[in-house]
Structure 1
Amino acid sequence: MLTVFAVDQFNHILRQEGWPLKRLQPFKGKTIHFRLPPILDLRLIVQENGELLHSHDQPEADVTLLIMPALLPGLIARDESVYDKIDISGDSGFANELIAIGKHIRPGIEQNLGKIIGDIPAHRVVQAGNDIFQWHINLTRNVSEAMGEYWQEEQPLLVKSDAARKASEQIKVLQQDTDRLKARINRIIQATNVD
């Protein structure tokens, strides 16, 4: 259900803008794997007209875009520096084109919805959607932080950075002490061999 909605929204935005369809047409047949864990895992294929189609049977994608949930507020706020933090693998030329389109596309969700249900209800729907979306991002971040703390404090699977740094310093001191002891033993052996 979310997949169908996402593909429909992508294509609606592409058609509304127009120019991205032309830029995607040379990539006909190429596949994209959008990952937004745990919300979205979507495989798309570029059609001849530049629109996207859900790809059920493409095991390997030409480009994979991994977008961590923490990046979403920046993407929504149109912060272009956030695009540098998207994990990209695969065809770099195709990926660069997708990123360029993402940076310059202007989805007018509220305006489009306003034509259907009116401006005030559309504004409230979009605001509610943004609030729900932000709640989900905050929930994901809070759960991640809680799990990290649990694994560090209660079930120590992870090491705190301070503890790792202290252990590293102690190992260095132990190594230096061992080297000094080894040098001292060598001097004693040499002194006994001379006599």
Structure 2
Amino acid sequence: MATQSPFSLLEGFLQNFNLPTEPPAWVIEESHRRVVLLINHVLMQEPAAMERLVRQKGRVVLTQWRGFSFKVSITPAGLLDLADAQTSADLTLVLTEESPFAIAQALMQGNKPAVRVEGDVQLAAEINWLVDNVRWDLEEDLARIMGDAPAHTLVQAARSFAQALQRFAGQGVRGHTSGSTE
């Protein structure tokens, strides 16, 4: 008998659960601001990334997934800023996978989610380079707050948990796609 991933069971439950369709505009705007701050924090730790983005200053990138959209412009400093809603995008990235669980599962397995790219090819190449090469050093940031040893312990525990979850997700996929029957 084929085993079914618990993620698909949870996803089916959430699809049938009637959640509000859209959060208030202020929540969306504030969450976008927080995401931009986090991305800029990570970019500032990678001078090569900022140098690459400086070459694309003034360009606008729109990211879409289901009913959500996120539009940023590239600043002359090589960082990001929220773009005006009326500004046209030079590059549009559309996550084609509808399921948040499938996206999370792909990310846990070290894969990129499926994306449809429309627009400027050079800008798309720069964004792809950023995705492939820029990583957040969470342990270093936590060490500034709580010290080196606790930060290292916390990050190691999180990595162990993530690896266990990744193995679990991988087993669920293999069991679900094996098509074995009793």
Q: Same fold (TM over 0.5)?
A: yes
> Number of residue pairs matched?
128
Percent of aligned positions with the same letter in both sequences?
A: 23
Question: SS of the counterpart of 2:70?
Answer: strand
Deviation sequence 1:42-67 (CA, Å, 0-9, x none)? 11000111110111234421111123
Q: Report the equivalent of 2:140.
A: 111
Q: Considering Cα pairs closer than 8 Å and 6+ residues apart, tell me whether 1 or 2 has the greater RCO.
A: 2
* Matched AA of 1:44: V
The 1-side partners of 2:151 and 2:65 are apart by 29
Task: From 8, 11, 26, give the equivalent of 2:40.
Answer: 11
CA spacing shift, 1:43–1:76, aligned 2, 3 Å: farther
Unpaired runs of 5+ residues, structure 2, are 1-29, 170-182
Q: Is the 8 A contact 1:43 1:58 kept in 2?
A: no
Change (3 A) 1:76 1:25: farther
- Let me know the Cα RMSD of the aligned residues: 3.1
TM-score (norm 1): 0.55
1:120 corresponds to: 150
**1:17-74, CA deviations, whole angstroms, 9 ceiling, x for partnerless residues?**
1110000111111001122446x52110001111101112344211111234333443
Structure with more helix by fraction: 1
Deviation at 1:121, TM superposition (A): 6.0
Task: Look at both structures and tell me which one has the larger radius of gyration over its CA atoms.
Answer: 1
CA contact (8 A) 1:34 1:43 kept: yes
Residue 78 of structure 1 contacts residue 103 of structure 1 at CA under 8 Å; is this kept in 2? no
Equivalence for 1:99: 128
State the 4+ residue runs in structure 1 displaced beyond 4 angstroms: none
**1:37-52 matched pairs, under 5 angstroms:** 37=66, 41-52=69-80
Q: Which runs of 5+ in 1 are unaligned?
A: 139-195
Amino acid at match of 2:36: V
* TM-score, length-scaled by structure 2: 0.58
SS of 2:62's equivalent in the other structure is: strand
Measured after TM superposition, the shift of residue 96 of structure 1 is 1.4
